[in-house]
Structure 1
Amino acid sequence: MANNKSAKKRIEINKRNRLRNRFYKSSVKTLTKFFFKDLEDYKISKNEDSKEKSKKTLQTIYSLLDKGTKKNIFHKNTAARRKSKLSMYLKLA
């Protein structure tokens, strides 16, 4: 356990940052799963609604990746790589 005031403060800050980081990382993972699910639906049915849905999901993923990069949750190259791969999957569908 912390022995002084600054150590206690650092524990609280680390807890806050851990929760923030977990939110961004888990949200990106979850939305990526939804993106691939919508993409599979589009490949099977060729329904334009599925493609539009996956585009909207992709925009949300981009937004979370950019915000996470700005807050030093994701490295800039990691975010760029993920965005590039996801856009490639959409383009090939």
Structure 2
Amino acid sequence: MANKPVKKNLSALKRMRQSEKRHERNQAVKSAVKTMTKKFNEVLRGGNEEEIQKVYRDIIKLLDKASSKNILHRNNSSRRISTISRKLHKYLSGKAA
């Protein structure tokens, strides 16, 4: 976070502490989403269907949780879920054909 002038107000200090904690927590969740997305794409290239389904469920769960806790906007998480689902269905339909 940017270095801001030190506040004397107790409530301002508490707010700064809270915002730093939330920032760290939100960054961790966003990082986990990105990591899981990369893992999904990697597994999709690998071709193990059971592993793909497992990672798919995990990433959907993670995105829904981030959306419900207002870390990601609901439209953002829905768009990501849609993109991932399209990739999965394209893979499965290509494999069946």
Same fold (TM over 0.5): yes
CA offsets per residue over residues 49-89 of structure 1, 9 Å max, x none? x1211211111111111111111111111111100110110
Moved segments of 4+, more than 4 Å: none
Partner of 1:67: 65
RMSD: 0.8
TM-score between the two structures when normalised by the length of structure 2: 0.84
The structure whose Rg is larger is 2
- The residue correspondences of 1:1-93 to structure 2 (distance < 5 A) are 1-42=6-47, 50-93=48-91
The total of aligned residue pairs comes to 86
Letter in 2 for 1:88: R
Q: What SS does structure 1 have at the residue aligned with 2:71?
A: coil
TM-score between the two structures when normalised by the length of structure 1: 0.88
Distance in 1 (alpha carbons) for counterparts of 2:50 and 2:86: 16
Residue segments in structure 2 that go unaligned for 5+ positions in a row:
1-5, 92-97
Worse overlay, 56-65 or 80-89: 56-65
Partner of 1:45: none
Residue segments in structure 1 that go unaligned for 5+ positions in a row:
43-49
Higher helix share: 1
Q: What SS does structure 2 have at the residue aligned with 1:72?
A: coil
Identity %: 38
